[in-house]
Structure 1
Amino acid sequence: METSKNAYKIKLGFFVSVGILIFFIIIFFIGANQNLFSSKFKINTNFKNVSGLQVGGQVRFSGISVGTIENIAIINDSTVNVIAIIDNNVKRFIKKDSKASITSEGVIGDKILTISQGSTKSPEVKDGASIKSFEPIEFDVILSSIKVSTENAEIITNELAYLLSSINNGEGAIGKLMNDKGMAEDLDRTMTNLRKSSKGLEENMEAAKHNFLLRGYFKKKEREKEKLEKEAKEQAEKSK
C-alpha cells in the first residue's frame, strides 16, 4: 500500500514538473516574440485611420520583425496614436525622418506597422520620439476604383461598337462618306483641284522671283535666310 502511494507521488511530481517546464518554455517563446527579454525603446506615430492594425501586431524595418505594437489610442475624431516597442539593436538605423506606414502580410494578411529607412545624414531617433506616417490605402477604395474603371471601359467599348456599326450601315457623315461612291468621287476631285492649285501657286511664285520689280525683294529674303543659317551654325560651333 505504501509502495503504491510513493509511486503515485512520483508520477504526480513528474507530471507537475513537466507541466511547469512546458509553461516556462511557452513563456520564453512568447517573451522572445514580444521582445520582453531584450533591451527596447518606444516610438509613436499618428494616423487618421489605422486600417485594422491591432495591439501585439508586428513592427518591421527593412522587411525584418523588430518589435510589436504596444498601444493604439484615439486622440481625437481625426487622429489615432500608435505606440510601438522596438528592439534597441536597430535604434541606430531608424532616423528622425523615417516614416511609418500600415501594410498587410500578403494580400489579405494581418496588418503590420512598417518603418521606412531614413536619410543617412539624419540623426537617429530618440526613445519616445514621434515619427511621421503615410496614410494606409484602403483595399475597398482600390476595388471601387477598379470597378469604376471597368464600367468606363465597358461604356467606351459599347460606344465604339455602336459607332462602327453605324459606319458599316452607312449612317452618319462618316458612314455616308465611306459608303457613298459619288461622295468619294467628289472628294477625290476636290483633292485633285487642290493639288493643281498648289502647283499653280508654286509656278506663280517662281515667276515672281524672276520679275524685275520683285527680284530685289526675294534676294533680300535669301540674304536674311543665309544670315540666320550662318548665325545658327556659329552658335552651334561655340557650344561644342
Structure 2
Amino acid sequence: MNKNSNHTWKLGMFVIIGITVFILTIYLIGKSQNLFGSTFVLSTKFKNVSGLTIGNNVRFSGINVGTVDDIQFVSDTSVVVKLIIKDDVQKFIKVDATASIGSDGLMGDKVLTISPGRGSDKIIADNGSIRSTEAIEMEDLMKGVKVSVDNAGIITNQLAQFSSKMNNNNGALSKLMTDQNVASSLEKTLLNLESSSNEFSTFTKKMNNKKGILSKLVNDEKLGSSIDSTITNIQTGTIELNETVKAAQNNFLLKGYFNKKKKAEAKKLKDSLKQK
C-alpha cells in the first residue's frame, strides 16, 4: 500500500512539473510573439531580406518592441515583411520612420530595426507601411575589403620599388642623399642661385630708383622724347650727308677724283676674281 502511494505521489509531482514547464514555455513564447498584449501591424518592403526570418525581433531605439510576423514575395525584386508591434510604442513611430535589417551582434540573428523619423509629427496608423533602407551585404563588404587589400598590396609593392631605387647607388635621389660631391654641387648651385637672386633684386632696386639713367630711360617721358628727337636728327643728318656726297660726285671739280676711285675699286675687284 505504501509503495502504491509513493509511486502515485511521484507521478503526480512529475505531471505537475511538466504542466508548469509547459505553461511557462507557452507564456514565454506568447510574450516574445506579443500574443498576450495589445499590438498593431506594420509592413515594409525590401529587395533582399538578408536572412531575416519569421519570429526575429523588431527593435526601435535599441529596444525590442515586436517581432517579424510574416515574410511574403511580391515579385522577384520585392519582399513584404509584416511586423507585429506593441501598441504602446505606436505613438513614437512616425510616418517617415524607416526600417533596416541588421544583426544582433557580429554573428547573431538578424534583427529588423525601425529608425525614428525626423520631419513628420504624424503617427503611423495600424496596418501602415514605412520605407526601408537596404542592408549592406556581407558579400559586398568582403568585396570592398578585398579591393582595399589589393590596393594595399599595390601600394606596398610601389613602396618596395621606391625604396629599392633609393638604395640603388646609381639613382639620382640616392646620390643626392649619399654622395658628398653631388650634395656639395647642389649646395653650390643653390648658393649661386641665391647670389643671382640677390643681384637681380639689387638690379630691380636700381631700376626703380628714379635717379638712375636706366630708370629715367624707362619712366621719364621727357628723356624718352629727347632721345626720339636725337635719333630723328641723326637720321635726318644721315640723309643730308648722302645727298651732299651725291652732289659732290656730280661736281665737275671732284668728278675726276670719284671716277678714278671707282676705276681703282673695279680693278681691285677684277684682280681678286682672277686670283680665285
TM-score grouping bracket, smaller chain normalisation: 0.7 to 0.9
Greater length-normalized contact order (CA 8 Å, ≥ 6 residues apart): 1
Deviation readout 1:48-76 (Å, 9 max, x if unpaired): 11111111000000111000001112221
User: How far has the Cα of 1:4 moved from its partner?
Assistant: 6.1
**1:206 equivalenced with 2:208 (yes/no):** yes
Name the larger-Rg structure.
2
Sequence identity, in percent?
Answer: 41
Question: C-alpha deviations, 1:96-128, integer Å up to 9, x for none?
Answer: 000001111111111100001113742010111
Rate the CA distance shift 1:13–1:208 in 2: closer, same or farther, 3 A: same
CA distance change for structure 1 residues 9 and 190 in 2, over 3 Å: closer, same or farther?
same
Normalised to the residue count of structure 1, the TM-score between the two structures is 0.76
- Kindly report which structure 2 residues correspond to 1:101-140, keeping only aligned pairs within 5 A, or say none: 101-119=100-118, 121-140=120-139
Write the distance in 1 (CA, Å) between the matches of 2:107 and 2:79. 22
Provide the C-alpha distance between the structure 1 equivalents of 2:110 and 2:220, rounded to a whole number of angstroms.
Answer: 83
Pair 62,209 (structure 1): closer, same or farther in 2 beyond 3 Å = farther
One-letter identity of the residue aligned with 1:49: N
Confirm or deny: 8 A CA contact 1:43 1:127 kept in the other structure. yes
Paired positions, count: 215
* CA–CA distance in structure 1, aligned partners of residues 119 and 202 of structure 2: 72
Which AA in structure 2 matches 1:75? Answer: V
User: Is the aligned partner of 1:191 residue 2:193?
Assistant: yes
Of 106-115 and 14-23, the range deviating more from structure 2? 14-23
Change (3 A) 1:199 1:112: same
Matches within 5 A, 1:174-185: 174-178=173-177, 179=179, 180=182, 184=186
Tell me the distance in 2 between the aligned counterparts of 1:209 and 1:70.
97
Which structure has more helix as a fraction of its residues? 2
Contact 1:98 1:116 in 2 (8 A): yes
Q: What does the per-residue CA deviation read over 1:19-41, in whole Å, with 9 as the maximum and x for residues that have no partner?
A: 22321221111111111001111
Query: Post-superposition shift, 1:18?
Result: 3.5
Q: Distance in 1 between matches of 2:128 and 2:52?
A: 20
Displacement of 1:14 after TM fit? 4.6
1:195 CA displacement: 1.7
Separation of aligned partners in 1, 2:165 and 2:7: 96
Give SS of 2:209's match. helix
> Does the C-alpha gap of structure 1 residues 89 and 166 become closer, same or farther in structure 2, counting only changes over 3 Å?
same
CA distance in 2, matches of 1:162, 1:171: 14
Q: CA RMSD in A?
A: 2.8
Pairwise CA distance, 1:162: 1.6
